[in-house]
Amino acid sequence: QKEVEQNSGPLSVPEGAIASLNCTYSDRGSQSFFWYRQYSGKSPELIMSIYSNGDKEDGRFTAQLNKASQYVSLLIRDSQPSDSATYLCAVNKNTDKLIFGTGTRLQVFP
């Protein structure tokens, strides 16, 4: 079992819709959770972090964490073609390093 699992996609959504990206993790001791966005040919960039159960909103992005179910998700409202990228889920087990999932490719079509 991988430590951090994501559906590779592609997830295709129409412009203006809500995109829902999901991630599960195996270690119950995980403390911090992150979503990175990576455009093709570019480096990952942090878009959201979440540490407590519940929702955290930042503009069009909402991160959701459920530690009991070992599940973290990212919702993108009013999806735009510019949101088309690979989204990487990362988990910190209270150490200095992050464990990344393999990413979900999102395609937003006009």
Partner 1 sequence: DAGVIQSPRHEVTEMGQEVTLRCKPISGHDYLFWYRQTMMRGLELLIYFNNNVPIDDSGMPEDRFSAKMPNASFSTLKIQPSEPRDSAVYFCASSSTSGGATDTQYFGPGTRLTVL
Task: Output the smallest distance, CB 31 to partner 1, in A.
Answer: 10
Task: Output the smallest distance, CB 58 to partner 1, in A.
Answer: 14
Residue 32 is classified by DSSP as E
Going residue by residue from 16 to 55, which x/- string records binding to partner 1, judged by CB under 8 A?
----------------x-x-------xxxxx--x------
Nearer to partner 1, 65 or 79 (CB): 65
- Contact status, residue 79 vs residue 17, Cβ threshold 8 Å: yes
The answer for 48, left when phi > 0, alpha when psi is -120 to 50, beta otherwise, is: beta
How many helices and strands, by DSSP H and E, does the chain display? 0, 11
Q: Which residues, in sequence order, are bridge partners of residue 59?
A: none
Residue 100 interacts with partner 1 (CB under 8 A)? yes
- Residues forming contacts to partner 1 in the complex (CB under 8 A) are 32, 34, 42-46, 49, 88, 92, 96-103
